Amino acid sequence: MRSVVLVTGGAGFIGSHVVDRLIAAGHEPRIFDQRPSPWHDPKDVQTIIGDLRRVEDLRRALRGCDAICHLAAAADVGEVHAHPHWATELNGGGTLNVLEAAREAGVQRVVYASTVWVYSDVPAEEVDEATPLLPPAHLYTAGKLAGELYCRSYAELYGLKTTVVRFGIPYGPRARPAAVIPSFVDRALRGEPLTIAGTGEQERSFVYVEDLADGVVRALAPQAVGKTYNLATRETTTIRELAEIVRDTVGAVDIVHTDGRAGDLRGARIDSTRAEDELGWRAHTHLRDGIAAYVAWLREQPGTSVAAPTSAPAEHRRLARVARAGLGNPAGVGIVALIAVASATIAVILGARQDAQAADFTALGSAILVPLWALTVVPWPPEHRRHQVATTTLLAVLGVVLLGLLSSASGGGGVHPMRIALAVALSACLTSAFRILPRRLAALRPNA
Ligand SMILES: NC(=O)c1ccc[n+]([C@@H]2O[C@H](COP(=O)([O-])OP(=O)(O)OC[C@H]3O[C@@H](n4cnc5c(N)ncnc54)[C@H](O)[C@@H]3O)[C@@H](O)[C@H]2O)c1
């Protein structure tokens, strides 16, 4: 039967594949995400832009829906570590909002995307859905587990038909670049060494993303109600083996080891027999084949250094997309801003007629560069990154204009010492502010 299925996080890596899989299975997916999908045109797939943290957005999105696949989350473990309140709001509170909105709207069916990280504190060699869990060490796991518990409570208290799917480590086309396989492949493509945290003996169960998406859609089946399923593969791989597969697929690069990460996922074997028996699901794609498919997809993507030559209009579109992506990245904008101000400083120093004037310009240039540096290296909370980019751009433009004006206005003489002192004091205040502000912004979030 054709169902209208809301996919929260449908613009994301796994969610976008769930959208594809739903279409292939004859359903009508509807994307709910905080950003437009880079993978689906709203003309083809109805898209609702909204915030998981606002129940009213979810209520609006749920009108006319038969089911929900809930994947929106703070899925990057590093970001969870950096912004714990924001991540908990999304992964715990956001899931609660989805369940509450579903209850209010009378949408009975909810499939919740969890993770095999829930087993990371269990001291067992092999785990399945019946394995008792221990309180998790990592905040990401705590948030995802909270979501699982809310699903159970809503099923018990309000009769909601929930299913939990615990994903193995996904990889494949559209993967976030920070994940292990994309970053290995990226480094290998650049000819850089592959870095392994720790010994590399930790085992992982990598699942090709299209297999996972298939599992999510199968989990909408009536027999899955009230159940939890591992969606992992029997094929476990050590990080060391993974690095070797990437090296074999992409090209010869060195493999180097660094210190292990705190709270890293333990490598128990994940049993997915229940999903096989009850849903007919299997992760069909072998790691080597999946990595080869990922590399092939990556080579077709704009901005990949090894991409095949493209036609001129396609090249223009590619450059526009790369530029747009760069402009949204605070670190990238910060580096460009630092280069621009440093170049302007060097230019005015070289144009100085006296040593004293050159010294003044050096002081002024440094007074602009130091707060710009603080803006570039201290990450702002994700929802304020646009403000970080705008502040960086503004400071850089003001800095370059100011240096130009001072250089032409001061003729052969130096800058008044009071002005230099004022600039240095202002620089110190701005630098402190740009170091403290991101933390304050994170703390000011509702419920923080
Ligand atoms: N990627 C992994 O390694 C992994 C492993 C196991 C489980 N999971 C789970 O799978 C799900 C999908 O992960 P992914 O890798 O596709 O992540 P992703 O980051 O690619 O996608 C998450 C999506 O959620 C959206 N989102 C974030 N905050 C939102 C908000 N406030 N309101 C609306 N939308 C919001 C994002 O814009 C993004 O499109 C998550 O629930 C994650 O916890 C991921």
| Residues 283 and 364 grouped into a single domain | no
User: If pLDDT is split at 50, 70 and 90, which confidence band does 3 have?
Assistant: very high
Ligand 1 atom with least separation from CA of 90: 31
Out of 217-226, 349-358, 428-437, the most confident range is: 217-226
| Residues 277 and 387 grouped into a single domain | no
Instruction: Give strand pairing partners of 30.
Output: 6
- Is 186 contained in some domain? no
- Is 368 contained in some domain? yes
| Residues 209 and 332 grouped into a single domain | no
Nearest CA to ligand 1 atom 44: 75
- Ligand 1 pocket list (CB less than 6 A): 9, 11-15, 33-35, 51-53, 71-73, 75, 90, 113, 115, 144, 167, 169-170, 176, 179
Tens of pLDDT along 5-37? 999 999 999 999 999 999 999 999 999 999 999
- Is 290 contained in some domain? yes
- CATH of residue 223's domain is 3.40.50.720
- Is 255 contained in some domain? no
Based on C-alpha coordinates, what's the Rg of the chain?
Answer: 25
| Rounded distance between C-alpha atoms, residue 327 and residue 438, angstroms | 19
**Per-residue model confidence (pLDDT) at position 264:** 53
Average pLDDT rounded to a whole number, residues 333-346 = 88
Average pLDDT rounded to a whole number, residues 114-120 = 93
376 vs 213, higher pLDDT: 213
Tens of pLDDT along 42-63? 999 999 999 999 999 999 999 9
311 Cα: distance to centroid of ligand 1 (angstroms): 34
- Is 225 contained in some domain? yes
Instruction: Give strand pairing partners of 70.
Output: 8, 112
- Is 99 contained in some domain? yes
Ligand 1: residue of 71, 110, 210, 385 to mutate (most ligand atoms within 8 A of CB) is 71
High-pLDDT (> 70) share of the chain, %: 89
- Is 256 contained in some domain? no
Domain range for 386: 328-444
| Residues 291 and 384 grouped into a single domain | no
Q: Is 352 in contact with 335 (CB distance < 8 Å)? A: no
| Residues 351 and 281 grouped into a single domain | no
Query: In this structure, which amino acid lies at residue 157?
Result: L
| Residues 279 and 346 grouped into a single domain | no
Ligand 1: residue of 17, 57, 76, 115 to mutate (most ligand atoms within 8 A of CB) is 115
| Residues 209 and 62 grouped into a single domain | yes
| Residues 289 and 342 grouped into a single domain | no
Residues in the chain: 448
| Residues 217 and 99 grouped into a single domain | yes
**Per-residue model confidence (pLDDT) at position 326:** 54
Pairing of strands 203-204, 237-238: antiparallel
| Residues 211 and 348 grouped into a single domain | no
| Residues 332 and 274 grouped into a single domain | no
| Residues 332 and 296 grouped into a single domain | no
Tens of pLDDT along 348-369? 888 887 888 888 888 888 899 8
Establish whether 140 is a catalytic residue: yes
pLDDT at 419 over 90: no
Q: Is the pTM of this model over 0.85?
A: no
Q: Which residues make Cβ contacts (< 8 Å) with residue 241, sequence separation at least 6? A: none
pLDDT at 112 over 50: yes
User: If pLDDT is split at 50, 70 and 90, which confidence band does 252 have?
Assistant: confident
Nearest CA to ligand 1 atom 11: 71
| Rounded distance between C-alpha atoms, residue 121 and residue 295, angstroms | 33
Number of domains into which the chain is organized: 2
- Is 338 contained in some domain? yes
- Span between the terminal Cα atoms of the chain, in Å: 42
